[in-house]
Amino acid sequence: MTTAAARRRHLRWAVELTGLPTAAGREHRVVRWVQDWLAQRRNLALRRDRYGNMLISRKGAKRGGRPVLFTAHLDHPAFVITKVRDRRHLECEFRGGVRPPYFPNAKVLAYDSRDKAHRGAIIEHRKGKVFDEVTVRLSKATEALAVDDLATWELPRARVHKGVLEAPACDDLAGVAAALSAMDELRGTRGVGDVRILLTRAEETGFLGAIAACRTGLIPSSAKVIALENSRSFAESPIGAGPILRVGDRISIFHHGLAFEISRIAMSMESRRRGFKWQRKLMPGGACEATTFQAFGYESVCLCLPLGNYHNMANLAEIIDGQRGVKARIAPEFISVADYHGLVEWLIACGRTLSGPTRRGSDQADGAAAIRTMMEKIDAAKGYVLREKAARI
């Protein structure tokens, strides 16, 4: 297990990252944070494709076997300014998925090029050709804002309170923090093979960064891809019950062999580490990048954190059900701190276990082959039951 000091460090990174303003196509503040983090770690290398996706790898890592790739996206649903009408009024498009009842009169913060926040409120919401569009009236006149600046919901700063991380953007910046935290623990560990991190852009507008990364060849074709997400919690996937092996989403089912490998790692951790909890769920409330990677031929699964106030939408279930008297309210997303630390530990174990040399039939074997081996062992031990029955038919 990681030390108490390491856990404090990992949580600090999560608080810092989940508080940063970001939007699809406007991820530069998060990118800058990651670059500063990498600058302090000389044994990690950064490579980008022409679309700005970031691939982080360990210098000098042995390239034998199949790479293990942790992926997370750098954006969160937010606004991008498309027109400055005058010193008090902005036209914006909203890049992400939030239901219409949440927009009217909602308060926003628009960030200028110097990172100064300007308060405003939505005075008009309409359906655009591609994205939802809004008109924002600023509280004070300014000439500091320009086209292509971003705006977010006005929310409190990220904080940890009673074992919960409340933040403007857990999805998916807590996933970014978890991936970096795991890599920080793995980067100097002997025996760890080829573990990498892929940080993608513009996920909230339809997995655009992941699609681009697949097409540009940034990801080795043999990679085992573990997509990280923050997924809407349901009664059967509660916050605080542990990170989740997401076996599928509302679009597809993920790779059975890789899911088997990762579940075996979790079961081993559960038996050896006091307090470690995990879940295995479908999580059909949305879609994630694991579907994209699988569509392009990669073995992929998803590990996710159960998330409250998905996309900052409080009372979402009641709004969907159309319950009377329930107000659509923008609020911080939240995750369990224990779930977050559990995810980091799980990723560390996956990095250590899955990145070693592949030996068919061993504990390091590919999941699909391991399942076949398990079935053959069962048949060898118990198959006589079927054979003796067949002899009497």
* pLDDT tens digits, one per residue of 290-345: 999 999 999 999 999 999 999 999 999 999 999 999 999 999 999 999 999 999 99
Q: Give dist(CA 79, CA 231) in Å, integer.
A: 21
Q: Is the pLDDT of residue 104 over 70?
A: yes
pLDDT band of residue 263 (cuts 50, 70, 90) is very high
Per DSSP, the residues of 196-235 read EEEEES-GGGTSHHHHHHHHHT-S-TT-EEEEEEEEE--T
Query: How would you label 42-68 residue by residue, b for 16+ Cβ within 10 Å and e otherwise?
Result: eebeeeebebbbbbbbbeebeeebbbb
- Superfamily the domain 4-76+158-357 falls into: Zn peptidases (3.40.630.10)
CATH class of the domain defined by 78-153: mainly beta
Residues of the chain with CATH 2.40.10.170: 78-153
pLDDT band of residue 385 (cuts 50, 70, 90) is confident
The percent of residues in the chain predicted with pLDDT above 90, rounded, is 84
**Count of all residues that appear for the chain in the document:** 393
Mean pLDDT score, 110-138: 97
Residues of the chain with CATH 3.40.630.10: 4-76+158-357
Q: What is the three-class DSSP state of 334?
A: strand
